[in-house]
Amino acid sequence: MEKKHKFSIWYVVFGIWFVLILNNLIYSNIGPKNVSYSEFLNLLRQDKIEEIAIGEKVISGVYRDSQGKQIQFDTVRVSPELAKELEGHKLKFRGEVESTFLRVIFSWMVPILIFAVVWWFMLKRMSPGQGVMNFGSNRAKIHAETDITTNFDDVAGVDEAKEELEEIVNFLREPEKYTALGGRMPKGVLLVGPPGTGKTLLSRAVAGEAGVSFFSISGSEFVELFVGVGASRVRELFSQAREKAPCIVFIDELDALGKARGMSSMGGHDEREQTLQQLLVEMDGFDPRVGVIIMAATNRPEILDPALMRAGRFDRQVLVDKPDLNGRIAILKVHAARITMAEDVDLKVLAQRTPGLSGADLENILNEGALLAARAGRTEVTMTDLENAVDRIIGGLEKKNRVINAHEKKVVAYHESGHALVAALTPKADQVHKISIVPRGIAALGYTEQRPTEDRYLMTKTELLGRLDVLLGGRVAEKVTFGEVSTGAGNDLKRATDLARAMLSEYGMGETLGPATFTRRNQPVFFPSDAGGIAPAAQEFSESTSAALDKELLSLLQQRQDRVVKLLSANKDLLEKVAERLLEEEVLEGTEFMAMVEKDGRNIEEDAKEV
């Protein structure tokens, strides 16, 4: 693919400087020396002129200077009679050729033409859309059939999405198979999913498998300051797509262009709405039988305009979700093929440690592991490198220089030991993989990592209560050991409160409110409820219901805290043993921790059954 150079003002400065220098060389320094007519006559009398050519107006020739060096010269002729008269007065005189119109034009045209050639060359080297007058042109990146080398083998962890898109590939390869039966392909395919799950990669894989041209553009590149520019770009994009058919037009981040009209609190945006309307018209106007497939990707489907989502436009939606355990293993295998791995690397264990991570996150973990191995001077990436990479991605960068006093370090050790001990002694809780009191990230002074044994899509009330207990375990451990709590449990309390509120208001697991939900509308599908930038809807329940909800929420959290207090009080000796071990090692692996629990741990529910 041809390499494009960005425009720079220094090109113009260099061009002007070059033209001025060239002009000076041509008209000042290059050519014979110009001498006055009186000096020519003096050289003639001294017999220094060796060669002469007499023209109608100009005399040129060669003379030898005082050092014997030959010098070319020219001079403008003066009338012999006038020359004799002037010589009698001992004057220095010279002749001049009268300027003509053509001579003046030529003296100006040469530098102007040179400058125009330099300017034309710079414009040809610029990428499309960089010129001052090109703000209305299409900015899509066009890839020919041979430029796309991505195929379905390069995409892992989204098998269901690939199956949906294989039909698009078959249509682009054999359109007559479908048109013969009177059918048509969907005009638009919308890839929906969280960030980093491979939506753009999938679209390139479809183009690579079908062997067709690929137009790629971001939704934000349509909208400009000038009204009408975006609509013009949409028209030009579809016009080029028809000429290149069969092809795929891919619009990334469609929500930047296709946001529902009327959502802005500041009023309508004429340019964005005109661009959206032009897109709707173009998608209605083109014939799907020509082989132009419109694909788009978004992680905010809830804010798209309903007109985009109706049948006849983006009439097929493909979910590209975060991978499950098998999907994560497949993704790790694809990316691990280019990395030199040691024999101790177990990708299944790595996949079990990374639930909820996207394909981009998994690729980043392998890359971080390779960087850590190279930094340590190893020739292979070991499992330890990958484990440290996971800690770095999930927990943040290790703060080796952060100084913590002895008491704070002890509080952190008991806090994390409380989390781990409650998780180990709570039925159906996720297995403890690692406990650490090494500071990481912005504010994390330690962490307890749990590794689920399998992917879960449903959770029971008992399992959610177990999660509440684990979240409260660190704070309770501080209370049981030191008689007071610290600010280190702030994030735990927030997560516990959100989980308990969801159990009561969304899942109907409370006793007071019964089987009803009290949730907010228009929540982001693939983002946390506080990250979507959408204002909460007006409260849809009464003040008495809100008061009852708050009362049961506090009661539930208090009940779980009482249970955790009993559990840790019954295992106080084990809590101290784990915390002391953690203070010695700073990092405690799950196998060693579980061996300590199996030896000395007491489960209060099992003790109650025996009694």
Write the pLDDT tens digit of every residue in 306-342. 888 888 788 888 888 888 888 889 999 988 888 889 8
Does 335 show up as a binding residue in the annotation? Answer: no
Does 419 show up as a binding residue in the annotation? Answer: yes
Alpha helices in 323-358 (DSSP H): 325-336, 347-352
Q: List, for residues 480-508, the tens digit of each pLDDT value.
A: 999 999 988 888 999 999 999 989 888 88
The helix/strand/coil state of 135 is coil
pLDDT at 122: 65
Name the token pair of 94.
Answer: 């010279």
User: Mean pLDDT across the stretch 420-426?
Assistant: 91
Does 384 show up as a binding residue in the annotation? Answer: no
Residues 326, 344: Cα–Cα separation, whole Å: 20
**Beta-carbon-side half-sphere exposure of residue 375 (alpha carbons within 13 Å):** 9
Name the token pair of 357.
Answer: 């991570």
Does 199 show up as a binding residue in the annotation? Answer: yes
Where residue 557 falls among pLDDT bands split at 50, 70, 90? Answer: very high
Does 562 show up as a binding residue in the annotation? Answer: no
127 vs 226, more confident: 226
Residues 424, 195: Cα–Cα separation, whole Å: 33
User: Mean pLDDT across the stretch 216-238?
Assistant: 75
pTM for the complete prediction? 0.66
Q: Which of 307, 322, 207 is nearest to 262 (CA)?
A: 307
The mean of the pLDDT values for the chain is: 77
Pick the catalytic residue: 387, 416, 449, 478? Answer: 416
User: Mean pLDDT across the stretch 545-572?
Assistant: 91
| Inter-residue contact 333 to 205 (CB < 8 Å) | no
CA angle 567, 569, 575 (to 5 degrees): 90
Does 136 show up as a binding residue in the annotation? Answer: no
Q: List, for residues 9-53, the tens digit of each pLDDT value.
A: 566 666 666 766 666 665 555 556 777 767 777 777 777 777 777
Residues 392, 25: Cα–Cα separation, whole Å: 63
259 vs 136, more confident: 259
Q: Judge whether 408 counts as a catalytic residue.
A: no
Using a 10 angstrom Cβ sphere, with 0-12 exposed, 13-18 middle and 19 or more buried, the burial of residue 603 is middle
Does 591 show up as a binding residue in the annotation? Answer: no
pLDDT at 458: 83
Convert 235-245 to b/e letters by CB count within 10 Å (16 or more is b): eebbebbeebb
Using a 10 angstrom Cβ sphere, with 0-12 exposed, 13-18 middle and 19 or more buried, the burial of residue 325 is middle
User: Mean pLDDT across the stretch 467-482?
Assistant: 93
Domains of the chain with CATH codes: 1-127 (no CATH), 141-319 (3.40.50.300), 325-395 (1.10.8.60), 406-610 (1.20.58.760)
**554 has pLDDT over 90:** yes
Name the token pair of 591.
Answer: 């196998």
| Inter-residue contact 588 to 434 (CB < 8 Å) | yes
pLDDT at 39: 76
Does 157 show up as a binding residue in the annotation? Answer: no
**DSSP β-ladder status, 58-64 and 70-76:** antiparallel
Does 129 show up as a binding residue in the annotation? Answer: no
pLDDT at 87: 56
Where residue 132 falls among pLDDT bands split at 50, 70, 90? Answer: very low
Where residue 85 falls among pLDDT bands split at 50, 70, 90? Answer: very low
Question: What one-character DSSP code corresponds to residue 209?
Answer: H
One-letter amino acid at 360 equals: A
pLDDT at 473: 93
Where residue 89 falls among pLDDT bands split at 50, 70, 90? Answer: very low
523 vs 309, more confident: 309
pLDDT at 568: 93
Residues 518, 234: Cα–Cα separation, whole Å: 43
**281 has pLDDT over 90:** no
Residues 491, 489: Cα–Cα separation, whole Å: 6
